[in-house]
Structure 1
Amino acid sequence: MSDSNRTNFINPSTFILLGIPGLESAHVWISIPFCAIYAVALLGNFTILFIVKREPSLHGPMYYFLCMLAVTDLVLSTSTLPKTLSIFWFNSREISFSGCLTQMFFIHSLSVMESGYCAAMAFDRYVAICDPLRHSTILTNAVIAKIGLAVMWRSIMFILPYPLLARRWPYCRTNIIPATHCKLMSVVSLACADIRISNYYSFFVAISVLCLDVFVIAVSYTQILRAIFRLPTKDARLKTFGTCSSHFCAILTFNIPAVFTFLTQRFGHNMPLHVHILMANVYLLVPPMLNPIIYGVRTKQIRHSLVQLFTPRKN
């Protein structure tokens, strides 16, 4: 490569997102379920926020954490879907270098944030079931706010090195990213430099976040199950488990695609590229869509408030 061409790519002004290579002819058809998922995610999460704000009876720890999760889901899906749909519909593949790094930061930090809020909600369910008399004194509004800020700052501090590392590498090969959005490994893999620091650091973050949050969730639900099995009757056990079943389903909805995506990216080198890209989109889009549905269906208070919202009042 000539020096002039190499210089042009050291700090590329734009990257080119290819969408889903190999499935270009199906982009429009793929966009239909993607668009539907995004619409459901927007409607569902805004509905959760509206209902919790509207109903004073829902102003409690579980629902505050649920609102934090809903805001995270809204921003996470919005950080990726509009650009993905513009690629599918208008072939608008260019994204600025700074815009790509910004999208990268939001994708990874919000994913870590969502994992943290799942762990916080597990802790809330543990206190509510195992120590119900002290629930309101342990999880005060001030404590909830501190937990929410701690989860947010953990995400920022862990993920901020991602764009900083990506910005320091020289890009002298190409500016084409075979994906629908900018993730760390998709970007730094284009660098013509030793990127082992980025690889090691991203692996450290993934393992640290996964181990910490899974530990909190596992310990919380182990204690919850022990408390449930000590209850005297089957009806009491079912009723108590029902109070945290929605959260347990939401944990599975987020963590199963997350773990599968992580494993396929690290070890699934023989899988077709379009499978990797589709799995990455499933991981980012499906939890924001399913979370409000799960909580709306499985949580009696939200379901009751939703029915009241759409039931005309009698004079």
Structure 2
Amino acid sequence: MLLIGLYALVAGGVVGLAGAGMLRLLRGRSILVHVLVLLTVTVLAVVVGVATVARAMFLSPHDLWVVLVTVSASAVISLAVGAVFGSRLAASAVWAQAARDRERRLEAGRRELVAWVSHDLRTPLAGLRAMAEALEDRIIDDPATVAEYHRRIRVESDRMAQLVDDLFELSRIHAGALRLVPTTVPLRDIVSDAIAAVAPLAAGRRIRLVAADSGWPSVRAGERELARVVSNLLVNSVRYTPEDGTVHIAAGHERDSVWLAVSDTCGGIPEQDLERVFDVAFRGERARTPGAAGSGGGGGLGLAIVRGLVEAHGGRVDVRNTVRGCQFEVRLPVPTGRS
């Protein structure tokens, strides 16, 4: 028995050392490759050990063949089961890595968001405090200047209120607390209301808002959320379109989706920024920087909110450059059974 154990140990040890060397050479490969190599080495060590011991026991050729066939069949089954397990383990590892990468991106986005919001709040708060102190100390008493200070205080207060509202909406989306109440919503009515709300901003910059005359379908969506999507897209285009430019809104219906497109004459977005315009707090380069557009800007949250609300409806939003600017397109699915 001692000699048989020694034979089995030596045979298995040789295979094990060879497998260890193989694993070292393949250390940069996927986890599935490592699992398969490990299983192969284990099964092969058993087969070699059994074969060596069988020969040492001077079994008859028939008995030796039976042993080898039995062990080989077991090895094949073990390898097959191990391959299935290894593929699932590899898929789980890929999913876990993707989840970790997504968490890192979200964390980086949160840090960037905090930095942007801190900047966007610090500047107007400093101005508000300075104007309030000037009014309180009666440093200024000219009625026109006092009225201008009051106007600027109101404007900055509205801007900060909008920023806080954007943050609240974004937190609801990311926390999964958004609860949609889908109804049949006519897109023409939503767009008309959004255009009326954005008209003063557009008029101040001599930007024409043009809506298509026809092709306006209805869509099954949350009315408040869809109105927020359209409003954010229009405000974004108006803010970053140069004076005397044009913002065009159109919509249509296809077999399985309803689409809404907002096109502007902003001059386009750099190609390297197209995939990032919907990121939280992303503002891009000159063409879409608030200071360049003279808009006063926001927190860089508008398009991120658009993407979150559209995805909550099961749709998608994309952006592409056109000849004179860019086009944002929202696509929402049509429920099964509806035309």
Task: Sort the TM-score into its range (normalised by shorter chain).
Answer: 0.3 to 0.5
Larger strand proportion of the pair:
2
What is the TM-score when the length of structure 2 is the normalising length? Answer: 0.31
What is the TM-score when the length of structure 1 is the normalising length? Answer: 0.33
> Relative contact order: is structure 1 or structure 2 higher (C-alpha 8 Å, sep ≥ 6)?
1
Larger helix proportion of the pair:
1
